[in-house]
Amino acid sequence: MPYIARADYAKQKEMVGNGECVTLVKHLTGVRASSLWREGDKVPDLLEKGGIAKGTVIATFVNGRYQNLRQGNHAALFIRQVPGGIEIFDQWRNHKPSARVIHFGRSAAGASNRPELYSVVE
């Protein structure tokens, strides 16, 4: 079962909690602790099949688990598909919540900037 943010999530303009990405998605959706997250369908597969609901929690996973490291993993809200990528809503330390576009096929980019590495959180 995916977790989906309330409709007014984009009004969140101030940093939530400690500024980590997981803190934001937990605040906006009520998703359970990240240690309990399981990997759902991959974002690219869902986009090919017809899409993902706006506000759905997505994250990067390794072997089906969210790694919860200080770097190299990420969680965000899916907004929409755009040409060559996706638009997400996220925050990270020293960066307030906002929407941004990340593009497919940028292998030199970190995991947080590669849509092909995201899956739906279950």
Of 21, 27, 95, 103, which is the active-site residue?
Answer: 21
For tokens 């906006």, the residue is 28
Of 27, 74, 95, 103, which is the active-site residue?
Answer: 74
* Of the candidates 115, 110, 122, the residue with the CA atom closest to the CA atom of residue 100: 115
- 103 as an active site residue: the answer is no
Q: What is the 3-state secondary structure (H, E, C) of 23-53?
A: HHHHHHHCCCCHHHCCEEEEHHHHHHHCCCC
Give CA–CA dist 55/25, Å, rounded: 9
Total residues belonging to the chain: 122
- 74 as an active site residue: the answer is yes
Which residues belong to the active site?
Answer: 21, 74
